[in-house]
Chains A and B, each alone.
Chain A
Amino acid sequence: MNATGSEEGRPGQPVGAVVLVVAVGLFALAGGTFAPWSVVAGMAGAIASVLLRLRAGPRPTLAPLVPVLLALAALSVLAVPSGLASLAAGGVGIAFLLWLADDPARRPGGARRAGRPLGLAALAVAGVWTFSFLGIRAPASTALAVAALAVGIVLLAVLLGRLAAEPSPHHRPPPARPDDLGLPFLAARERRRP
């Protein structure tokens, strides 16, 4: 099965890039502050990131991520708090992850293969947005939401650490090799075998 064929989409399709630029534009519009200026600045940051990644070559670097993250951070801080702006912020975060997965320097179809992690991140965004939209209308209680999110992430880290520490029931240790057993003559015989 060929990963570079048409089965997983042609390489170079800028789906993730287009989604990111559009999502940043919508987020800037939903933010409602300095609308024309913020839309231009946000989209410029996203386009700069896309171009930087195209020019970066095969080796992954951090530089392409910086402009779009800076633009998003500035837009989110300047945005007028509202349910729509929060929803757009969550959406642009997911779009950013989708763009990460759709890396032209890697094998095509990354966005599809990243479906499960993206889905879980979207679920977390939905949960936090619901919590913030329904429960936190008073700005003072944002601290409560931050604390809840921090505790949730710590719990997630502990849970994942335990999962990683436990061997999977499907895992089978690799067979012992003559080198591991300290039997050099067996190892030499195995190497001679065609």
Chain B
Amino acid sequence: MIEPGPHTAAVSWTRRSYLLLAVGGALLVAALAVRSAVPLVLAVPLLVAPFVAAWSVPGGLGRIDLSWQETGAGKEVVVEGTLAGALGRGARDLEVTTQVPEAFVALRPTDYDYAGGTVRFRTAYAIPEPTVVTLPPAEVAWVDPMGLSRRETEGERPKLALDRFPIGLKGMGAVRLDRTIQLPGESVSRRVGSSGEFFTVRRAQTGEPLRRINWVASARIGKLLANDYHLDRAGDLIVLVDRRPSGLGEVHDERLLSLSKAAAFGVADSLLRGKIRIGFASFGEFVEALPLSTGRVQRLRIFEAINGLTLAPVAGPPPRCVFGLRRYYRPGVTTLVISSWAGESTGELVPYLRLSGYPVVMLSPSTVPLGAGVYPLTAGEEAVARAIERLERREKLAALWPYGTVIDWEDFWSLSGLVHSLRQPVHRRRS
């Protein structure tokens, strides 16, 4: 490696350089062994090229800032961005390296475009399943045309948040959920929809639209108050993700957790658009929870919480989950439990929740697609194996049917079963 000077980043050799040097060295030894000048002359370009490539770093390369965003839809993730700053003469050999999850499949080489002293880049990936992930800051480096040496550049490198969840959740619309906290003056209505029936007056929040401010009431009270409508108070929902190990193995558990995270964020995002208060909790060894709230800030909080979820090393006992939840949420809030129910202990969680007064809707990412293609089976044998697996899974999930709606999620790009279930009108309990 060439030593860096003051104010310059290090120029380093790539693995390709080391390969050329190794082959060149071997050729030198061979030249001595066979006493021939032919391997010697062949070794010369292989040995000289890494040095010459490291020497040819263009001038004017300085601080380069990166800005990027994700613009794809569905199963295609398109990352677009701009490099701006001191690009120098090496602008054409700048490369952006993004660390993406292994499941991402690059669809084509990154496309670079020069315009007005900036470099725009665009790359696309195909993703097999819904996901919620934050890409780490990309590396921007100058790489010589032969790919032998590389120099990192400095500058702003933001992270990129990426979320892909089943498309059907976007159009979920209004759903009927139980309310937890009855406000003074609240009247029970079975109606949900787009009509904005006046409900109550409440304290205005930061960034409240002006047309929502109740100016007369504000003048009377001396504080800024806003109108609240029936539509705004559609109900509350807790999204609970079970991140305990199931016994299927770490690889399958990680994959199921990734799907659970995508579904949880999709449901939370869609319902938060409908002004529903969402609480988010995860249960591994202990409960980690976000209180019920709504709005964009809550969406961001939930995204951060979901993004940070990892598989718990130890499974906590189900009663601990219920005690933890009761610290954050009053019983009676509809709870969406997302779990694979693949292990023995995971099945016990729902009865405890139900006995503690939480109405549950259960969403279970299926383990059936995970087994596809693992064993060398013919198409017919594969179909039979999947059918047997489905029957076994159905029997396992049947034990949960008395406690609430169970949605077996096998087509990971569709959650129509869950949407249908949440949109069913709930018959209110008589008090």
Using a CB–CB cutoff of 8 Å, the interface residues on chain A facing chain B are 1-4, 31, 57-60, 62, 65, 69, 72-73, 76-77, 79, 81, 85-87, 89-90, 92-94, 96-97, 100-101, 103-107, 109-111, 113-114, 116-117, 120-122, 124-125, 128-129, 132-133, 136, 139-140, 142-143, 145-146, 149-150, 153, 156-157, 160-161, 163-168, 170-174
Contacts and interface: CB of A to CB of B under 8 A. Distances in A.
Contacts of A2: 113-115
9 contacts: A2-B113, A59-B106, A60-B147, A76-B27, A97-B49, A113-B92, A121-B48, A153-B47, A167-B7
Interface residues of B, number: 65
Contacts of A62: 15-16, 19
Contacts of B154: 174
Interface stretch (B51-59, B279-287, B349-357): B51-59
B47 A94 contact: no
Contacts, number: 205
B305 interface: no
Contact of B92 (A93, A107, A133, A165): A107
B40 A145 contact: yes
A2 B118 CA distance: 11
A60 B38 CA distance: 29
Interface string B1-32: 01111111001001110010001001110111
Contacts of A139: 35-36
B388 interface: no
Contacts of A122: 45
Contacts of A111: 145
A100 B52 contact: no
Contacts of B27: 73, 76
Contacts of B39: 73, 76-77, 89
A77 to B, nearest CB: 5
A66 B91 CA distance: 30
A143 B145 CA distance: 33
A135 to B, nearest CB: 10
B15 A174 contact: no
Interface centre among B44, B60, B95, B115 (most CB of A within 10 A): B44
A164 B3 contact: yes
B44 A149 contact: yes
Interface centre among A58, A79, A117, A171 (most CB of B within 10 A): A117
Contact of A65 (B19, B52, B110): B19
Nearest to A125: B44
Nearest to B42: A89
Interface of B: 2-8, 11, 14-16, 19, 23, 26-28, 30-32, 34-49, 51-56, 59-60, 62-63, 86, 92-93, 95, 106, 108-115, 123, 144-148, 154
A97 B63 CA distance: 30
Given A1-B114, A145-B40, A153-B47, 5 more contacts: A31-B38, A93-B41, A117-B49, A120-B52, A153-B48
A48 to B, nearest CB: 16
Nearest to A84: B38
Given A149-B43, A160-B55, A106 B37 contact: no
B8 A171 contact: yes
Contacts of B51: 153, 156-157, 160
A86 B38 contact: yes
B273 to A, nearest CB: 28
A125 B41 contact: yes
A89 B38 contact: yes
Contact of A69 (B2, B23, B111, B147): B23
Contact of A146 (B40, B54, B60): B40
A156 B47 CA distance: 11
B52 A121 contact: yes
A189 B47 CA distance: 52
A86 B32 CA distance: 15
Given A101-B146, A161-B3, A174-B63, A106 B109 contact: yes
B7 A171 contact: yes
Contacts of B15: 62
Contacts of A166: 5
B146 to A, nearest CB: 4
Contacts of B49: 97, 117, 121
B4 A81 contact: no
A93 B35 contact: no
B156 to A, nearest CB: 10
Given A31-B38, A86-B38, A164-B8, A101 B145 contact: yes
A170 B59 CA distance: 8
A176 to B, nearest CB: 12
Given A59-B106, A97-B146, A150-B28, A163 B55 contact: yes
A128 B40 contact: yes
B32 A77 contact: no
A87 B49 CA distance: 18
B164 to A, nearest CB: 21
Contact of B40 (A105, A107, A149): A149
Interface centre among B23, B35, B36 (most CB of A within 10 A): B36
A139 B28 CA distance: 14
A190 to B, nearest CB: 12
Nearest to A79: B38
